[in-house]
Structure 1
Amino acid sequence: MIELADVLDARERVAETARHTPLDYSHTFSAMTGADVHMKLETFQRTGSFKIRGATNKIATLSDGEQDSGVVTASAGNHAQGVALAATRIGVDSKIVMPEHAPVSKVQATRNYGAEVVLHGADYDEASERAHEIEREEERVYVHAFDDPMVMAGQGTIGLEILEDLPEVETVVVPIGGGGLVSGIATAVKAKNPDARVIGVQAEGASSVADSLQKGEVVARDSVDTIADGIATRKVGAQTFDVIRERVDEVVTVSDDEVAVALTTLLERGKTLVEGAAAVALAAVLEGAFEYDDDEVVVPVLSGGNIDLNVLTTVVMRGLVETGRYLRIRTTLKDRPGELERLVEVISDSRANIHAIEHDRAGKDVAMNAAEVELDLETRGPDHATELLDALRSEGYDVDVLV
């Protein structure tokens, strides 16, 4: 099990590669929660994620012979970029296996940092199997994304920075995928300040740690399903699990809808772009997934900002739907002149904005003298959405809310 000395040593190795990232007090989220919220912005880290820390520390500790053999790893994207850059900086050849559906932006960034990318499998675990095959076939050194003491120690340097910048911190909230980040941070924080809490957060669709803690052993999920692709692992690491059991105070989960709201709110109110895996920490704070006191000094670790633009569009839309600012409705009109205009007038009078209209006369479930209309509407919030629906129904429209 790693100790504080390992994290302190790692700091010396990663200092030239990894940035000391900002710790930003948020008036907005402090007001929303009642806590004293400071965000650890690993979104401003090199490669856009904390992963460069662990990758740099691991590769720096390899022998000359191991470095000459080259490295291989599997990753959904952020670890891939960290390994690629860390290896390229010291002249080590790297090969990265990524899931076939990894975000295009992360795949391209990994190649740009100098690695050879192999696309294989539906998720991280299948990519990992292929990476281990390459490890054996080409006699490369495998750089694990999380279940490695040197990787954990590298990630733990975040904990050192939080304690230096904010000694009065009471709770640190950390995303969990395989557990390397939370293990490293918990090791540093608990050694320096035993009274501080470390809360781990997983997405509900990839919540292997909660099941593992309940059963007292590592339990693998059959599959994962979450928009937080950076923490979409079927199981926590064996070594990280031991650290989590000993040093993490509580592990909670958040839904994809809660992640989408946190990401959207952070983008709109905090002017900060994060990926889904990073948003889980803030989502846990906003949703009260764990208990905290008024004015408690809470630091959610925003672990990365590498979100694919196509994914971002979907997540933002989900966030708008969940906060009542976007509606898709369906209703039926008489197929005669002026009916669509009358419907639009009701919506306009309610001060909602029409984003899109689909008008269907030919559907098999539509009466011969009728037309079915679907509308995408922008509203100002849940109260406004309710007012709009009430206005439509009071005018005699039978309205179905689709999203």
Structure 2
Amino acid sequence: MSLYINQQDVLDAYQRIRSHVQNSPTIKSVTLSELTETEALFKLENLQMTGSFKERGAVNKLLTLTDEEKSAGIIAASAGNHAQALAYHAQRLGISVKIVMPRYSPIVKIKSTEHWGAEVVLAGETFDDAMAHSREIVKAEGCIYMHPFDDPLIAAGQGTVGIELLESEFGKDIDAILVPVGGGGLIAGIASYIKATRPDIRVIGVEEATCDAMHQALQTGLPTLVDAAPVIADGIAVREVAPENLKVVNECVDEVVSVSSDEIANAIMLMLEIEKLVVEGAAATPLAALLNKRLPQLKGKTVVSIVSGGNIDVNLLSRIIDQGLSFDGRVARIQTVVQDRPGNLEQLLTIFRHQGANILEVHHHRLSPTAPIGQVGVTVTVETRDRAHQEEIIQGLQKNRYPIL
């Protein structure tokens, strides 16, 4: 099958863009290697100037525009990272740029895009709504549309990640590369180069389960429109993959797996806690797949996770950390009732203290519908070691006749 990008396209892109983007580091994590039972490597695309791999495809496309196209200006629809990448490199190259974003886009991504000199237009609830609006602007104003993933120059630029991986100190030892999947541009670019250069390396895609457009497309053989759903991995929240990227994935990608929002939240928290790296939801999907044994065949193998970006809203990060701690068994919210008499709340909290739990928050509910007359509801949020510790606390409460609600 003839594919719309190949090894030479990626090599050409690398020669074109190498002085415009960072050769991002690839690091090994000792702790995460132990947790995943692999030699866990991470390609840190979150360290690019605008915080994601999207710069590669954006600047590759921009550098191929004619003078006439540059003067017309460019427009794109993006949930954030493609927007920032285009805005940054367009202003460097003296090209005007307009970005259409869904209304729900993280504030950090909107502000960053504006910071780089782009005009931001908020339209619609989803990426598809934003794309439709951007197409209307193209018709009205005659500017050049820059698709975030359905473009061979964009995909070839993203594929330069694969060149850098093979040229890194770990290159000869790599057994598998795990790639976040949205519209398919990143994995199509990487896979087309890797399979032509090192066909022994497995290339595996990872999606968020509530937005698994690539998985469904592989099942049906055609791009399939999936239902929109709230996701943590907003950077890969694409409802329909690009047809040409699907062809590359069919030909060059070994497998596509999915992970849940809880698993992604836990992976984000661990990257922050262990590696001191802030990563967005999409970037955490490969680690989530390894931690939750989606790929048991990679045990003992050298595996690279593409850390695709680090642009995450601070308020969302706070909620994700809480969700990740809960998923990991390190925070629990326990509800019970106590007699409505002085000193009884203190007696309850003493049990938590004796069990070695760190009390984070206590809520006393006098109007709780679950509390009988003469009793009050109490919700205690505690920090725990793990799920076994939580069970010990619950057993201690039940032993002292405190019901768990």
Unaligned runs of 5+ in 2: none
For residues 58-103 of structure 1, the C-alpha deviation after alignment (integer angstroms, 9 at most, x for no partner) is 1111111111100000111111100101111111000001110111
Instruction: Note if 1:194 corresponds to 2:199.
Output: yes
Farther-moved stretch of structure 1 (34-43 vs 169-178): 34-43
Distance in 2, Cα, partners of 1:338 & 1:262 = 41
Q: Give the counterpart letter for 2:55 in structure 1.
A: I
Q: Pick the aligned partner of 2:302 from 291, 297, 322.
A: 297
**Could you list the per-position Cα deviations for residues 18-60 of structure 1 after superposition, in whole angstroms to 9, with x for gaps in the alignment?**
1000010111121122221111111111101000110000111
Asked whether the 8 Å contact 1:227–1:276 carries over to 2, the reply is: yes
- What percentage of residue pairs aligned between the two structures are identical? 43
**Map of 1:179 onto structure 2:** 184
Matched residue, 1:240: 245
Identify the match of residue 271 of structure 1 among 263, 267, 276: 276
Corresponding position of 2:12: 9
Shift of 1:365: 4.7
1:285, distance to aligned residue in structure 2 (A): 1.6
1:157 equivalent to 2:160? Answer: yes
The question of 1:30 aligning with 2:33 is answered yes
Give the equivalent residue in structure 2 for 1:118: 121
Shift of 1:351: 1.3
Superposed displacement of residue 211, structure 1? 1.1
Query: Residue 307 of structure 1 corresponds to which residue in structure 2?
Result: 312
Q: 1:41 to 1:345 in 2, by over 3 A?
A: same
The 3-state SS of whatever aligns with 1:92 is coil
Structure-2 residue corresponding to 1:261: 266
Instruction: Find the aligned partners of 2:200 and 2:352 in 1 and give their Cα distance.
Output: 55
Residue equivalent to 2:75: 72
Paired residue for 1:216, among 221, 241, 250? 221
How far apart, in 1, do the equivalents of 2:399 and 2:358 lie?
19
What letter is aligned with 1:34?
A: E
Contact 2:370 2:377 in 1 (8 A): no
SS at the partner of 1:19?
coil
> 2:214, 2:90 → 1: CA distance?
30
Corresponding residue SS for 1:224: coil
Alignment partners' CA distance in 2, 1:183 and 1:224: 24
Secondary structure of the structure 2 residue equivalent to 1:46 = coil
2:133 is equivalent to residue 130 of structure 1: yes
Of the three residues 87, 97, 102, the one matched with 1:99 is: 102
Residue identity in the other structure for 2:282: A
- After TM superposition, the runs of 4+ consecutive aligned structure 1 residues lying more than 3 A away are 363-368
**TM-score relative to the length of structure 1:** 0.97
Quote the offset at 1:265 in angstroms: 1.2
Query: RMSD value over aligned CA atoms?
Result: 1.1
Aligned positions of 1:226-375 closer than 5 A: 226-375=231-380
Which of 6, 18, 21 is the matching residue for 2:21? Answer: 18
Taking the aligned partners of 1:64 and 1:78, their CA distance within structure 2 comes to 25
Q: TM-score, normalised by structure 2?
A: 0.97
